Amino acid sequence: MPSDLSPIDKAKFVAAKRATDYVENGMKVGLGTGSTAAWLVKCLGEMVREEGLKITGVPTSSRTAALAREVGIEITSLDEARWLDLTIDGADEYDANLNLIKGGGGALLQEKIVATSSDRMVVIADIGKQVETLGAFPLPVEVIPFGWQTTKALIEETLVGMDVMGRTTTLRLNGDTPFMTDEGNYILDMHLNRIANSRQLSLVINQIPGIVENGLFIDICDAVVIGYGDGRVEVRDINEGTVETDKIDFLDNDNLFSDLSD
């Protein structure tokens, strides 16, 4: 194992590796977007090449699609797959009820569509993503470019009546230009600090014209696999009400670390 691998990257890897236990031959699997999900795609690619695993992946972004092809995973569109057995994805925050904030990578719309088109959603994350109350991570909302400044003003006006600690909204940039999603939309990041009622906020925000979707994933996640820098893994299943612990051996998986750039 490379000596310069950070504890955070180790935690992401062991969470991803443990989550592959949910994947079985013949499954149609939603593949998330982001640095933690990239570890998962790498792990699944190794299983395809070395163990003969046969799955069909449905990527949640063009980045994930490119990585899946690179490691040898057969992919298809959600329209072709229609319904999925499982989606595995990362999260920017999760609370005790496994409600999430997602969208730090800008793929929240495809991620939410794919996750809600699956029998089961499993989140992989390091322990640093766990919070008591959602909102410390800026909540992304995907908006159409037309009239986005008006949409932004409507969001900030709406937030006056919501139980949140911050009300600043910023346009996400890619250098000097607006960040563009795979659907050609913009992302507005809401700096709320604390969201007292995430379910209510999600419903209210989605009523504003111009908003396509928000990054609150409420009652969608079934289990979270939490990785630690020392190789420990904790699996919390919200439906079964169970908590399991495990430990992943890094030494058998050194080849995964050599070329993972995400």
Instruction: List the domains of the chain with CATH numbers.
Output: 7-131+219-257 (3.40.50.1360), 139-213 (3.30.70.260)
Does the structure show a pLDDT above 90 at 79?
yes
Give me the catalytic one of 111, 157, 213, 240: 111
Question: Quick one: pLDDT band at residue 108, thresholds 50, 70, 90?
Answer: very high
- The average confidence (pLDDT) of the chain is 94
What is the pTM assigned to this prediction? Answer: 0.93
Does the structure show a pLDDT above 70 at 171?
yes
Is 51 among the residues known to form the active site? no
How do residues 188-226 score in pLDDT, each as one tens digit? Answer: 999 999 999 999 999 999 999 999 999 999 999 999 999
- Residue 221 structure tokens: 């996640």
Does the structure show a pLDDT above 60 at 261?
no
Rounded Cα distance between 240 and 190, Å, is 33
Does the structure show a pLDDT above 80 at 105?
yes
How do residues 18-72 score in pLDDT, each as one tens digit? Answer: 999 999 999 999 999 999 999 999 999 999 999 999 999 999 999 999 999 999 9
Q: What angle do the packed helices 62-71 and 35-51 form, to 10 degrees?
A: 30
Question: Quick one: pLDDT band at residue 166, thresholds 50, 70, 90?
Answer: very high
